[in-house]
Amino acid sequence: MPDKLLLREQDRRRLRDLLVQHLPGVTAWAYGSRVNGDAHDASDLDIVLRSADLDKIPLKALERFQEAVRESNIPILIEARDWARLPESFHREILRNYVELGE
């Protein structure tokens, strides 16, 4: 069964490749308008990054990943956040509706 993420497959593959290259062992979940059906073609993509142990991802590694995403050919803005740096209330919101992008 296909998931409900509004994202071109080529962009999804490129994002997964960048994740493996820059943040190995980290899982990405998409949430927000591109998952809940409120998005349009120009909507940004909200993702949350979860390390295997749910500890904070080193800032330098996050910065390298975010820079690689900005320099990629993915034609939409991608907002990446570290799960461990978000408040518990935000965790509950994300857990209501997300799509796993993989590792």
Band of pLDDT at residue 4, cut at 50, 70 and 90: confident
Indicate whether 36 belongs to any domain: yes
Band of pLDDT at residue 1, cut at 50, 70 and 90: very low
pTM value > 0.85: yes
* CATH number (domain holding residue 89): 3.30.460.10
Indicate whether 95 belongs to any domain: yes
The three-state DSSP-derived secondary structure of the chain is: CCCCCCCCHHHHHHHHHHHHHHCCCCEEEEECHHHHCCCCCCCCEEEEEECCCCCCCCHHHHHHHHHHHHHCCCCCCEEEEEHHHCCHHHHHHHHHCEEEEEC
Number of domains in the chain: 1
Indicate whether 61 belongs to any domain: yes
- Checking if the pLDDT of 103 tops 60, the result is no
Indicate whether 70 belongs to any domain: yes
- Checking if the pLDDT of 96 tops 50, the result is yes
Indicate whether 22 belongs to any domain: yes
* pLDDT tens-digit readout, 51-93: 999 999 999 999 999 999 999 999 999 999 999 999 999 999 9
